[in-house]
Amino acid sequence: MSKNQTNVTTSSCLVNPFCDPILGLLGAVAAFGAVLNILLIIIFILDKRLQRPIYIGIPLLALPDMLFLLAKLSTIAFSDFFRQKETSSQDFVLIQTVNCIMVSSYFSSASHVVLLSVQQYIYIAYPLKSGVWFKNTKVIVTSAITWSVCVVFGITYVYIVVINKVNNRMLASKFNIVLTFIITILPVLILVVLHFLKKRVLMSSMVTRPQRSVRKMARVVSFVIAGYLITTTPVNIKDIIEVTFGYLKETWFVIFYEVSTILLYLNYSVNPFIYFFSTPQFRRALCCWRNKRSLYGSNNTSMATSQTSQISSFQERL
């Protein structure tokens, strides 16, 4: 590790956005968010009632969120390993693989938020046809295609901007600027347009109101979109400033960098809270899962107590 790299973890948080306290906080948020997303996916797999097209977009979004947080957590937990300049070929492949997972998950998460919004708009605008259009298999295939595109973009980004940057800095800079503007502005524009289209349909439509489950899920998706916009807008502004003017060493930018990074991590961690507290189906599934565990534990305790009393009675008779 070079001298500059050593200073990276020891300097003040007013100078370095990745000081030890910030890294510790980011690691805690990443670990907690990854566990919540894993729990969400497990609950969806175990509860057959949730395996419907209207809900299947939720675990499909939780998957890239989980992978992003796990990749980030590995870079924080093994920061010295990921910051070393001279690496063996095996270490280099491992580091770039983690980078590809991280970038691909970042793209995939934003794409799945858009897909979730598109799905809910179709449910509201075309309530009769949506039941025919949306099947679990179709939603999963759409997610797989989205993942394929995001992985291609992720690998391309890592190769051009990270690996091949030394050989062609101009290409790396231009590609980074174009992709940053696309990934920061395009999803926001699509979400805003879909939101106003959905409101327009709800206000002007003379047909029967959407089903209760569709209305509730639309409200949940609105919370998800609002959370996405609130938590990602600062980091999008930071990225645009950075690709336009370069990294600024002013204190205000360092603090803004830290706040935007923390909010970005929260973006990938907060969705399970929205689902658990805003969706009755997920609350019931979580409560049933906990009750089953409690019942199993109490049954084991009762059996153990009964066996102990039987042994004691038998010993007394002896």
pLDDT digits (tens, 9 = 90+) for 147-191: 999 999 999 999 998 888 778 888 888 888 888 778 878 888 888
Q: How far apart are the first and last CA of the chain?
A: 72
The pLDDT score that the predictor gives to residue 1 is 39
Q: Which has the minimum average pLDDT: 64-68, 74-78, 171-175, 197-201?
A: 197-201
Prediction pTM value: 0.78
Domain boundaries, the chain: 20-278
Beta-carbon contacts of 121 under 8 Å, excluding residues fewer than 6 positions away, are 194, 197, 198, 201
Architecture of domain 20-278: Up-down Bundle (1.20)
Q: How far apart are CA 195 and CA 313, in angstroms?
A: 70
| Chain CA centroid to CA 80, Å | 25
Give 163's DSSP letter: I
287's enclosing H/E stretch is helix 280-317
54 within 8 A of 214, measured Cβ to Cβ: yes
What is the average pLDDT across 245-274? Answer: 87
pLDDT band at residue 257 using 50, 70 and 90 as cut-offs: very high
pLDDT band at residue 302 using 50, 70 and 90 as cut-offs: very low
252's enclosing H/E stretch is helix 251-278
Q: How far apart are CA 58 and CA 66, in angstroms?
A: 12
Residue 222 to residues 186, 196, 263, 302: CA-CA distances in angstroms? 18, 12, 18, 46
Indicate the average pLDDT of the chain: 78
Alpha-carbon torsion 93, 84, 232, 239, what sign? Answer: negative
Q: Is 240 exposed, middle or buried (0-12, 13-18, 19+ CB in 10 A)?
A: middle
Q: Indicate whether 121 pLDDT > 50.
A: yes
